[in-house]
Amino acid sequence: MREEEHEKERAGEGAYQEGRSGRRHATVRPARVPLEPRQGRKTAGEKATPKEKTPREELCVFAFRLTEEERDAIHKAAGPAKASKFARTLLVAAARYDEAPVKAIMKEVQTRA
């Protein structure tokens, strides 16, 4: 830093320092104002209570081939992002000879159409 800048800094005028690149940077930073915590959120001192995890069933993969037309029909009948659950429920109900879920699915599909 130049001698003039040292004099100004000592006098309290212009608080700057020179960086490695030769550029001047302000040394005085504005004070931070503490933000109030948002409602519903935990503060740093409070810890969230851990939720108890429910054990999940051990699942395996059952795959079969479809034509694009069949796949599109399943997606259309099931609705957005529900095709796998739709197919699983229908297949398991049919395999167990359980008519109630099959009829419920058929009724739901008919009301959507």
Predicted confidence band at 79 (pLDDT cuts at 50, 70, 90)? confident
- Rounded to two decimals, the pTM is 0.48
pLDDT at 81 over 90: no
The overall average pLDDT reported for the chain is: 79
Instruction: Determine the pLDDT at residue 7.
Output: 63
State the sign of the Cα–Cα–Cα–Cα dihedral 94, 100, 101, 102: positive
> Is residue 33 assigned to a domain?
no
Q: How many CB atoms lie within 10 A of CB 99?
A: 11
- How many domains does the structure of the chain reveal? 1
pLDDT at 107 over 70: yes
Rounded to the nearest 5 degrees, what angle is found at the Cα of 87, between the Cα atoms of 52 and 102? 100
| Position 3 in a domain | no
16 forms beta bridges with: 26
Per-residue tokens: 28: 């005085």
CB count, 10 Å around CB of 71?
Answer: 13
> Which residues constitute the domain of residue 100?
68-112
For residue 32, being part of any structural domain is answered with: no
- What 3-state DSSP class applies to 25? strand
pLDDT tens readout for residues 30-66: 667 676 766 666 666 667 677 888 888 898 999 999 9
Whether 88 is covered by a domain: the verdict is: yes
> Token digits for 60?
């395996």
Residue 9 lies in a domain: no
What 3-state class would DSSP assign to 35? coil
DSSP reduced 3-state for 58: coil
